[in-house]
Structures are given as structure tokens and as C-alpha cells.
Amino acid sequence: PMGSERTEMRKRQMSTTQETPGAAQAQHSTGNRGSNACCFCWCCCCSCSCLTVRNQDEERARRTSHELQAEGIPNCEESPAPTLEEVNAWAQSFDKLMLTPAGRNAFREFLRTEFSEENMLFWMACEELKQESNKSIIEEKARLIYEDYISILSPKEVSLDSRVREVINRNMLEPSQHTFDDAQLQIYTLMHRDSYPRFMNSAIYKDLLRSLSEKSIEA
């Protein structure tokens, strides 16, 4: 009769479910993975172990880039402590700030807080290149400057427009002391217009000025 057949079917279903709970859970888990899958691995666009690994890789890449940048930073220029007169002169023009090692060091310290110290490092490297006369040394230094500050693969790449980059690429065919002149001027102008006004209002400059003013009064 129909009633006994239905009862028997229910018994079989219950028996199957009880015998293979792990298989049912595995199928449920697999089904969830399949529904979230969006690439060759499990759900790279949702919260899963794949996304966690990817985030960790990105963080590691950022940390490595920052460490590489820190390793490439040379020591500050040697210079005597600035006088109150010198520090006051820095406020008169950017040229006067950049004229002395003490001014460059103070400005460079400020650029480091804004993560743009590479602008000063590039400018200084170009100034150093201009002092060379040996052809082989010029070529080597030009190559290093290109790799450190011009290459898009460098963590210290400076911001230059396409025209200046084209000029540099042409000049690198036969490097000279003036290979990066256009780029150096562009970065100098960028620091003048963008960073210099903020430096004059920064705690670094104001604290230095106040300290020297207090010493002057005490003397």
C-alpha cells in the first residue's frame, strides 16, 4: 500500500542523512565556495583566505618599497648650525633657503615628513653631477640618477612631465653634466611653489626660529 511505501522511503532518507553527515557538510561548504568564486581560486573578490593573502602581499610590497627608499637616503650635508640671521633670510626667498647647507638640511627634514625627500635628493644629485669632469664618472652617476629618480620602477621616482622625460631619454644616449638640467629645474620649481610655503608655516621652521631667537635674547 501507498502508506507503507512512503514510510519506507522516509526511513531510507533518514538513514542516508545520518550515515553521511560529513559528506553533506562538505557539499554545503563546496557549494558556498563555488557560489563565491570569481577567478581561478576561491573568491578573490570577497572575504576569504585568498583575499587575506593578497592584502598581506600588498602590505609587504609597500613595506619593502619604504625600506628601499630609506636605505637610499644619504646623510645630510655637513654644515655649521644656522644663525638667527640666516634662518630669518630663509623666509625672504626660496633661493636663500637653498643657498646654504643648513637651509637645505632643514628643508630636507621637512620634506621627509611629507614623504617627498626624493625631490631634494634628486636636486642634490644633479648638483653633484655638474661638478664632475671625468667622462666615465659622469656616465656612471647619470645612470645611477636615472635608476634612482627617473625610472618608473624606483620607489624614489620624482614627478616629471612627459616632455622633460623625453629630453632625459635623449640626453642619456650621451650623458653629460647637464643631462638632467630641465628635470632639475622642474623639481626646483615644484619644491618652491608646493613645499616651501608649507615649510615656512611648519613646526620645524618655527621651532628653529624660536630657539635661535631665545638664545639671541639670552646672549
**Residue 18 falls within a domain, yes or no?**
no
Q: What pLDDT score does 8 carry?
A: 56
Domain coverage including residue 204: 83-214
**Residue 151 falls within a domain, yes or no?**
yes
**Residue 172 falls within a domain, yes or no?**
yes
Q: What pLDDT score does 34 carry?
A: 43
Total tally of structural domains belonging to the chain:
1
**Residue 45 falls within a domain, yes or no?**
no
**Residue 33 falls within a domain, yes or no?**
no
**Residue 37 falls within a domain, yes or no?**
no
Look up the pTM and report it.
Answer: 0.65
Give the gyration radius of the chain's Cα atoms. 32
pLDDT values of the chain reduced to their tens digit, one per residue, 219 residues: 544 454 555 555 555 545 444 444 444 444 444 444 444 333 334 434 344 434 444 444 444 333 333 344 445 788 789 999 999 999 999 999 999 999 999 999 999 999 999 999 999 999 999 999 999 999 999 999 999 999 999 999 999 999 999 999 999 999 999 999 999 999 999 999 999 999 999 999 999 999 999 998 886
**Residue 153 falls within a domain, yes or no?**
yes
**Residue 20 falls within a domain, yes or no?**
no
CATH number at residue 106: 1.10.167.10
